[in-house]
Amino acid sequence: AWDRTLRTLANKYNKATFKNFLQALQPLSFDGTIIVFGAPSAFAREWSEKKYSQELRGYLEQHLDTTGLQLRFVTASSEVHPLLGEQPLPLQQAASPSAGAPPDRAAFSGIRDGIRPEVMPRRSEPAKESSRIVESNNPFSSELTSSALSDKYTFDNFVVGKSNRLAQAGAMAVAQGLGSTYNPLFLYGSPGLGKTHLMQAIGHYVRATLPHARVAYVSGETFTNHFVMALRDKRTEEFRRAYRNVDVWLVDDIQTIASKEQTKEEFFHTFNTLHQQNKQIVITSDRSPRELRLMDERLRSRFECGLIADISPPELEMRMAILQRKAILENLRIPDDVIAFMASLIQSNIRALEGALIKLMAYASLAKSPITKQLASDVLSSYFVERMPSFAPSPTDYVALRRPDTGSGAGAAVDIILDAAAAHMGVSKEMILNGGSRDKDVALARQICMYLCRELSKTPMSALAVTFGCKNHSAIAHAHSRMRGSLESDPKILAIIAGIRGAIEHSL
Ligand code: ADP
Ligand code: MG
């Protein structure tokens, strides 16, 4: 079963992850319920436990045709676990023996952090390594070169579309050309659109193709923290040496330093030093360089030899493609109508799209139910409310809802829904609330609003009845169940509701 599990996993993870973590696990014992795995280092143990245990359990239960397995992970270096005896551990073989050595292919993905110096054979260091070994005492240097990249953020896993084509092409060119194509590469766009993903993809690419290159991934915030620490501890020399000694500098979310004059100054110096040496610099930000006001005169000309690319929100087709891609990565089969539903529901942010998919997966597996549109609609309406607390009305909202003619806010959440629906369907709010109209569109808009208020606002039905001028709550309940039925059977209504919900999310 373990071999079969490994074979499945070999196709799911990149080679380095597979080799360093999964293949490195040794099944040590199995009593029918508890499987004990030996991991080659404390770091690998923690990591495997955190990242892979769920999935391993799933496959093992499947292959062993059982349930309720428990997985335990122990550190099984030769000192700790007698079962492994003297045999060299896979991780030690893979890892480079000198603590200060540059990353190599096998040590890819931050694994060097996990190599305990005690279990590593000491070897006399080659002369050319010596300057780096001295630097291994430099706290900044070791943090920079071991900066971990997320396994998921590779070029392979990045879906390309109109909204991110330039950014992706720029990133790929930079990863391949290092310093000789665009330098710096500046990527900007709203949160959750893939800036970090692309930036780390460059890092992965370089680490895989040029194992000795020093790739440093830091956020603007980390840079600031390091700099503040350096000032406080009078270690600015080490700080500078560390930062000016990298080959590829990835600076994520630089906007955080824009208001910090001294940090910004230091950033310019680092930038200039690296740029003069033709080291590749990649910067991301939620704003354009112009809006950022980072463009000091000194940098302006430098930016001209670089590339500035923005990423805009993905169109519907691309959102669907991204969901499909994630579903494949997760080994999930998701019906097309569910993909379409989710992609039209969540419009502006890929992170939110992923969050929704994860939530849906979790529910489906808990409920042991297949992923259907009904399930998606149930799960994602609560997802919506949780993510947007404004949709849980406050006590004053209830008061306002009971007396809709007083005060301006007839319940913030209800108001937002009405506005979005009115705009989306081209019907006025008054007509929706009035109810007397015989117009089919108005009647539909009214029912859709009742449905959405019930789904999204958690407002009591009796209060909604007052707002909509119904005799009692049963009119609301009726509209709700009717729309729920239509959502299943009528793609046009599904599209309208998804569109309104998208607009609501957008407006928040
Ligand atoms: P940002 O840094 O712009 O805020 P991230 O890079 O963190 O956004 O992306 C948010 C999430 O969306 C990540 O999990 C990322 O993998 C995913 N993502 C973004 N763009 C894409 C894309 N084009 N293809 C696949 N996944 C993407
Ligand atoms: Mg980011």
Residue-level pLDDT at 476? 92
Residue-level pLDDT at 404? 40
Atom of ligand 1 nearest to the CA of 198: 6
Instruction: List the strands of the sheet with 248-252, edge to edge.
Output: 215-219, 248-252, 280-285, 185-189, 307-311
Tell me the average pLDDT across 164-190: 91
Read off φ and ψ for residue 36, nearest 5 degrees. -105, 130
The pLDDT-based confidence of 43 (bands split at 50, 70, 90) is low
Tally the C-alpha atoms within 13 A of residue 427's C-alpha that lie toward its C-beta: 23
Residue-level pLDDT at 76? 61
| Mean pLDDT of the residues in the chain | 77
Pocket of ligand 1 (CB under 6 A): 152-153, 157-159, 164, 189, 191-197, 322, 325, 350-351, 354
Instruction: Give the separation between CA 501 and CA 493, rounded to whole angstroms.
Output: 12
Closest by CA position to 114, among listed 20, 41, 207: 41
Q: For residue 88, what are the contacts with CB-CB under 8 A and spacing of at least 6?
A: none
Closest by CA position to 23, among listed 2, 51, 1: 2
The pLDDT-based confidence of 124 (bands split at 50, 70, 90) is very low
CA distances from 32 to 60, 67, 71, 74, 233 (A): 12, 10, 11, 18, 54
The pLDDT-based confidence of 411 (bands split at 50, 70, 90) is low
Q: In angstroms, what is the span from residue 500 Cα to ligand 2's centroid? A: 28
Tell me the average pLDDT across 287-313: 78
260 is in an annotated binding site: no
| Residue listed under structure tokens 């690296």 | 274
Residue-level pLDDT at 321? 92
Q: In angstroms, what is the span from residue 231 Cα to ligand 2's centroid? A: 27
Atom of ligand 1 nearest to the CA of 350: 12
Atom of ligand 1 nearest to the CA of 311: 3
Q: How far from the centroid of its chain's Cα atoms is residue 203's Cα?
A: 16
For the ranges 96-105, 219-228, 489-498, which has the lowest average pLDDT? 96-105
How does strand 34-39 pair with strand 26-30? antiparallel
Instruction: Give the separation between CA 399 and CA 335, rounded to whole angstroms.
Output: 43
Nearest CA to ligand 1 atom 23: 159
Instruction: Give the separation between CA 269 and CA 275, rounded to whole angstroms.
Output: 10
Tell me the average pLDDT across 78-102: 32
The pLDDT-based confidence of 384 (bands split at 50, 70, 90) is low
Instruction: Give the separation between CA 337 and CA 376, rounded to whole angstroms.
Output: 10
Residue-level pLDDT at 439? 86
Protein residues within 5 Å, CB atom, of ion ligand 2: 196
DSSP codes, 265-314: HHHHHHHHHHHHTT-EEEEEESS-HHHHT---HHHHHHHHTSEEEEE-PP
Residue 94 pLDDT > 70:
no
Task: Report which of residues 446 and 28 the model is more confident about.
Answer: 446
Q: Which ligand is nearest to the CA of 190?
A: 1
Tell me the average pLDDT across 93-111: 32
Residue 44 pLDDT > 90:
no
Residue-level pLDDT at 39? 76
Q: Which helix (H) or strand (E) holds 188?
A: strand 185-189
**pTM of the predicted model, to two decimals?**
0.58
Candidate ranges 126-130, 309-313, 368-372; pick with highest mean pLDDT: 309-313
Residue 491 pLDDT > 90:
no
The pLDDT-based confidence of 185 (bands split at 50, 70, 90) is very high
User: Any bridge partners for residue 187, and if so which?
Assistant: 284, 309
For the ranges 67-81, 298-312, 371-385, 472-486, which has the lowest average pLDDT? 67-81
Residue-level pLDDT at 259? 83
